[in-house]
Amino acid sequence: MAKNAKVIELDEVVVKFAGDSGDGMQLTGSQFSDTSAFIGNDLSTFPDYPSEIRAPGGTIAGVSGFQVHIGQKEVHSPGDQADVLVAMNPAALKANMRWIKDGATIIIDIDNFDNKHYKKAGYVEDPLGDGSLEGYNVVKAPITHLTRSTVKEFGLDIKTADKTKNQFVAGLLYWLFNRDIKIGENFLKRKFKNKQMLVDANIKVLREGYNYAETIEAMTTTFMVNPAKKKKGLFRNITGNQATAWGLIAASERSGRPLFLGSYPITPATEILQELASRKHLGVKTFQAEDEIAGISAAIGASYAGHLAATSTSGPGLALKGESIGLAVMTELPLVIINVQRGGPSTGLPTKTEQADLMQALYGRSGESPVVVMAASTPADCFHYTYMAAKIAIEHMTPVILLTDGYLANGSELWHIPDVNDLPDIKVPYVKENDPDYKPYYRDPESLARFWAMPGQEGLRHKVGGLEKEDISGDISHDPLNHHVMVELREAKVEKVVDYIPELEILGKNDADLLVIGWGGSYGTLLTAVEELQEEGVSLSLAHFNYIRPLPKNTADVLKGFKKRVVCEQNLGQFADYITMKHPQFEYQRFNKVQGLPFMISELKLKFKELLEEI
């Protein structure tokens, strides 16, 4: 018996859950992550979904995964390879063998490891007997059989019974990592709060998995990852989409402007619309439009009416919104456009991550149509950069495109819950009622932003639209000289934002041999790779961009102090092209990855060492 199991303390551990879409691995991963957050571990997660809604069961294409990296030290990424893999069928095992460490623990549902499932997964020989798992600690648990036996008393049909087997897995993991099973039970009570039978059935299976792990000889060692010592304050586990939605709510609160979101559901941005739709009690208005164009057009109307207006989408939807973004540029109304990037082109890889919409965000509109472009770095800081996008949009009366991506949107990490009163002020450029000098395109001399008159304000009747405007008066104008003036004013207004954003910071020395340059969602893996190499004495630093148009005003000063610079991004070099255009006096190496997957720390470290050897 394993009741007196040896306990090994770990600084960090990576766990990967994998199975068919119906095996509930996403839920189990979220449950394990929430439990880890509750006890104080730092963490980062990476869900990985099939692109097909109903991919064939038991096949490689149908494998759904969830990776979580927990630690008692600060965690910046979901990790490279897993210490523990849960594989619910042979396809899940085959798809993830290259993503596990040597000597890892592999927990399998032995009930699904038969000739039928081997064939579906593309195996020629039985992987349990061909020597390919030699050196791993393989736990062969009859998960399906024991789950069905456990819930038999509830009279559930086979399909419903099998949906509870993910809780058997959760029970195994709770025991393996010395987690309090009560936390898991409370999670299930919240999840199925209106379905008592499902609560009871899932809790019983959870306990059965825990008890099974406690009594089998294959699991004689357990692990303990203690709470993160540096984490002080109130934290919660949050996804990027949740953080984005809450950033908009906070900006609405601080600005005093009601929030409106007009959007069309699209993977992987849909949860922003769903999250805000559930916040009517906070005064949030949401509109699920019939298409992308209607969504942004409604948001522009709401902005004209005095709302903090936003629209959310992914790459294909951003393309459809292009003409309407131009309308927001012409009318000079505040608008937050959130683009959760995914693999393209066209439908592409809708459930996979990519950073390939940058040039579309910068230039994907007709005419000279400048907007502010920003990018979030982590799931948690989606809150901060969404808030700042709203602040800039309102204070500078301009559309702002905020780029996140599928990795950030679906991934999660610990978020330090701020006091809303500590967030930066948002100064709304109101017009005073009955201002006799009001003209729609009269501008603030410092920011060049026009002022915001609300429909219904006494003495401030005005109209704006998509035709070119006369400077100051806002009347329709076809004067070519006036058009040139207005184009330059709109450009200058966006460039003026540089005076209101923070300067670029460097992690490391200002004169190291190599400067690693990143932007957006690659931050966690780049930071980890750079920090690990710095600990080895390697001369390199990191500059990560969140403000892209305009670039921070000290960008050139940061870039000039290094022997080499390498731009790392999940596209074919869009930011490298952009920064070369803006700062052509420097040379840039490139490291690109377009696989629908985030960078791995190991591949980054290898590339950086190669570049340093060439110096």
Q: How far apart are CA 403 and CA 373, in angstroms?
A: 8
pTM for the full predicted model: 0.95
Q: Do domains 6-224 and 237-422 have the same CATH topology?
A: no
The full set of domain ranges for the chain reads 6-224, 237-422, 506-613
**What does the mean pLDDT of the chain come to?**
95
Contact status, residue 530 vs residue 598, Cβ threshold 8 Å: no
pLDDT score recorded for residue 208: 97
Q: Which CATH number fits domain 237-422: 3.30.1330.10, 3.40.50.970, 3.40.50.2300, 1.20.120.1200?
A: 3.40.50.970
- pLDDT of 350 > 60? The answer is yes
Per residue in 313-347, pLDDT tens? 999 999 999 999 999 999 999 999 999 999 999 99
What the block records as the tokens of 95 is 């798809």
Q: How far apart are CA 496 and CA 386, in angstroms?
A: 20
- pLDDT of 46 > 80? The answer is yes
Q: Residue 474 — left, alpha, or beta (φ > 0 → left; ψ -120 to 50 → alpha)?
A: left
Position 7, amino acid: V
pLDDT score recorded for residue 3: 55
Span 6-224 CATH architecture: 3-Layer(aba) Sandwich (3.40)
Per residue in 166-222, pLDDT tens? 999 999 999 999 999 999 999 999 999 989 999 999 999 999 999 999 988 777 789
pLDDT score recorded for residue 4: 63
Query: 506-613 has which CATH code?
Result: 3.40.50.920
Per residue in 191-202, pLDDT tens? 999 899 999 999
Give CA separation, 106 vs 10, 59, 134, 145, 208, in Å.
Answer: 18, 19, 11, 19, 19
Give the CA angle between residues 599, 100, 540 to the nearest 5°.
Answer: 35
